[in-house]
Amino acid sequence: MITRRAFLRLVGGSAFAMVSLSAYAVGIEPMLLTHVKRYTLTPPHWPAGLKLRVVALADIHSCRPWMTPERIAALAEEANALQPDLIVLLGDYTAGTKLVTGRVRVEEWAEALSGLKAPLGVLSILGNHDWWTDFFAQRAEAGPTQSRKALEHVGIPVLENDVVRVEKDGHGLWIAGLADQLALLPNKAKGRDSFQGFDDLPGTLAKIQGSEPIILLAHEPDIFPKVPSRVSLTLSGHTHGGQVRLFGYSPVVPSDYGNRFAYGHVVENDRNLIVSGGLGFSILPVRLGVRPEMLQIDLG
Ligand SMILES: [Fe+2]
């Protein structure tokens, strides 16, 4: 038996816990607990003597009040302070939820990202939301998207099925960027039942000559089963780690593979994938057990 007073205490305590947890998941974890997630690895076939620090920012999802230009500029400063050789942006710069108090124009978030600096450069790819929020690109069923134009305007190259070669300490290295795998929304009027991607992995990799290592940037990790072992490392975002992840399990993951590529470092058949939990959020402004993160990856 439980006394009335104990019952009320229990209910009151639970309500307080629920309110606290909600405040944490909506306010504190998404906003304040941004951290640097560090990985150190030597991928297969990595040349001896090549040490490379890559910092990756994923799923910024700019919007007010959650991801303002001021906050993005502060994140750029934080990324620079890690002294990376190379900075990569893994897509989804535009808002991913309608629960916002205001929009951030593409020019504003791009300007904030223009503060990123690294000796080998800053390279980017696009994500599904960069396509989905672009009415004209959807209608035309083609780019360039507003996000692409804004990034290029501030001098950040956008790789859509394209590659760039960089050099560090006498070693050459390829950065390959895949076009988005979910770019076009389903559209009955146009006879499209499901999402249509513009990704062309074989065509992208065909642009690379020789045997120098390759880092592949692919917004959605679902491409990973098709990535050949020739690629040293694949970097993805998109999943936000499910946004809610407890005890290594995410109940909701926007991936055909469920939890397989939801978050973190995945090694399959000697091939390496790192999925960032990202910085912003989509659908609901909630994060629990997946703090906003930027990646620092030390290779060598
Ligand atoms: Fe995404």
Distance (angstroms) between ligand 1 centre and the Cα of 158 equals 16
Distance (angstroms) between ligand 1 centre and the Cα of 37 equals 19
Residue 100: count other Cβ atoms within 10 Å of its Cβ: 17
Whether 103 contacts 63, CB under 8 Å: yes
Instruction: Tell which residue, 241, 264, 243, 277, has the closest CA to residue 26.
Output: 243
Q: What is the pLDDT of residue 172?
A: 96
Distance (angstroms) between ligand 1 centre and the Cα of 236 equals 9
Backbone angles phi, psi at 196, to 5 degrees: -120, 125
Which stretches of the chain drop beneath a pLDDT of 50?
Answer: none
Distance (angstroms) between ligand 1 centre and the Cα of 52 equals 26
Chain centroid to CA 134: how far?
18
Distance (angstroms) between ligand 1 centre and the Cα of 239 equals 7
Distance (angstroms) between ligand 1 centre and the Cα of 281 equals 9
Distance (angstroms) between ligand 1 centre and the Cα of 182 equals 9
Whether 288 contacts 246, CB under 8 Å: yes
Residue 84: count other Cβ atoms within 10 Å of its Cβ: 25
Distance (angstroms) between ligand 1 centre and the Cα of 287 equals 15
Distance (angstroms) between ligand 1 centre and the Cα of 128 equals 5
Q: What is the pLDDT of residue 96?
A: 84
Instruction: Report the alpha-carbon distance of residue 87 to residue 91 in Å, rounded.
Output: 13
Distance (angstroms) between ligand 1 centre and the Cα of 17 equals 31
Distance (angstroms) between ligand 1 centre and the Cα of 114 equals 21
pLDDT digits (tens, 9 = 90+) for 145-193: 999 999 999 999 999 999 999 999 999 999 999 999 999 999 999 999 9
Distance (angstroms) between ligand 1 centre and the Cα of 11 equals 39
Distance (angstroms) between ligand 1 centre and the Cα of 15 equals 34
Tokens of 182: 């979910």
The model's pTM is 0.90
Distance (angstroms) between ligand 1 centre and the Cα of 222 equals 11
